[in-house]
């Protein structure tokens, strides 16, 4: 990409931008360490290596992505071919053996899911697994919409 001089919004700080897709993490790190790359996407595991590069700066964008922890087995009903879902497993405590949402089995499974939800220390996950980059999220796929959550609902 080439810079547009006197662009109506802002002239870029560079004349040309070359964007490479480099699938191997070690090649991206080596490119940055040898100053072949000015910037790159990196894995969290590479933070200590990149921090050791003189002048390295980290940039993040709020709500640029999200990650979730899923507990599987509770896919109820039938798939599009009319078959029971392959990994449905009512032997798991968080999975009801009865698809009736008014049944005691369903209520018990919901209580187990609530207990798991309460027991997860989201801040520690952010601090330890994500090296402090990020923030805890309680409701999957709700990132950036916390202000719209109903405060009367307890997870």
Read off the pLDDT band of 151 (50, 70, 90): low
Residues 54, 73, single domain; the answer is no
* Range 42-49, long-range pairs (CB < 8 A, 24+ positions): 44/129, 44/130, 44/131, 44/133, 47/131
**Rounded to an integer, what distance in angstroms lies between the CA atom of residue 22 and that of residue 110?**
44
pLDDT tens by residue, 10-53: 988 888 888 899 999 999 999 999 999 999 999 888 999 999 99
- Which 3 state secondary structure label does DSSP give 2? strand
Residues 69, 53, single domain; the answer is no
Residues 52, 97, single domain; the answer is no
Residues 72, 141, single domain; the answer is yes
Residues 27, 77, single domain; the answer is no
Residues 144, 71, single domain; the answer is yes
pLDDT tens by residue, 58-115: 887 777 777 777 777 778 878 889 998 888 899 999 999 998 999 999 999 999 999 9
**Rounded to an integer, what distance in angstroms lies between the CA atom of residue 105 and that of residue 74?**
13
Residues 115, 44, single domain; the answer is no
Domain boundary among 27, 59, 91: 59
* Structural domain containing residue 119: 63-155
Domain boundary among 59, 92, 107: 59
């Amino acid at each position: 990409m080439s810079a547009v001089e006197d662009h109506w919004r802002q002239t870029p700080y560079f004349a040309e931008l070359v964007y490479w897709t480099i699938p191997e993490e070690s090649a991206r790190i080596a490119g940055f360490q040898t100053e072949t790359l000015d910037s790159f996407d990196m894995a969290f595991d590479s933070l200590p290596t990149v921090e050791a590069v003189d002048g390295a700066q980290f940039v993040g964008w709020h709500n640029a992505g999200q990650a979730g922890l899923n507990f599987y087995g509770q896919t109820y009903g039938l798939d599009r071919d009319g078959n029971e879902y392959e990994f449905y497993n009512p032997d798991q405590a968080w999975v009801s053996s009865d698809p009736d949402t008014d049944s005691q089995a369903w209520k018990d499974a919901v209580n187990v899911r609530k207990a798991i939800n309460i027991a997860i220390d989201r801040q520690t996950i952010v601090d330890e697994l994500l090296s402090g980059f990020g923030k805890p999220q309680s409701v999957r796929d709700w990132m950036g919409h916390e202000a719209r959550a109903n405060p009367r609902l307890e997870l």
